[in-house]
Amino acid sequence: MARFLSTAESVAAINATAPTGATANALFANLNASATAGYKLRRVTIGVRAGAAVPTSQQLTVGMVRTTARGTATTTNAPKAMDPNSLQTSSITGLDVAWSAVPTATWTAPYLYEISFNSQSGADLPFELLEELI
């Protein structure tokens, strides 16, 4: 199976308020794939970029949720094939990064998965051969 990647960078600062209506708040990316495609999330890499200064050391948690409706995306980053010699099309619609109406989901704990890390480091979680998130 061909592998694809998508990247996103959040806006300046993210608050911890749940998304609602057209206000994304803590939501900064939503990966969309066809319900019949059978794709799996194989890797997540996250970190903090603080400009020219060293970020304040603090513990952060990013929660991953499964959406039940896509919402109305206004900006979508298309997936890129990791191997230029493989299939170049994907059933993954893309990685939505801006909305006029946010996706539908349960925005409270317990989340599908949580990633905790320090703001002066990062997290690189390969799910391959471990858990594979759908």
pLDDT digits (tens, 9 = 90+) for 38-81: 777 788 888 887 777 888 888 888 888 888 888 899 999 888 88
Per-residue model confidence as pLDDT tens digits over 7-32: 888 766 677 777 776 677 778 888 88
Nearest to 16 by CA among 70, 58, 50: 58
Q: What does the DSSP 8-state code read for residue 89?
A: -
Q: Which residues contact 90 (CB under 8 A, 6 or more apart)?
A: 2, 4, 79, 81
Entry pTM: 0.78
Q: Give CA–CA dist 90/34, Å, rounded.
A: 9
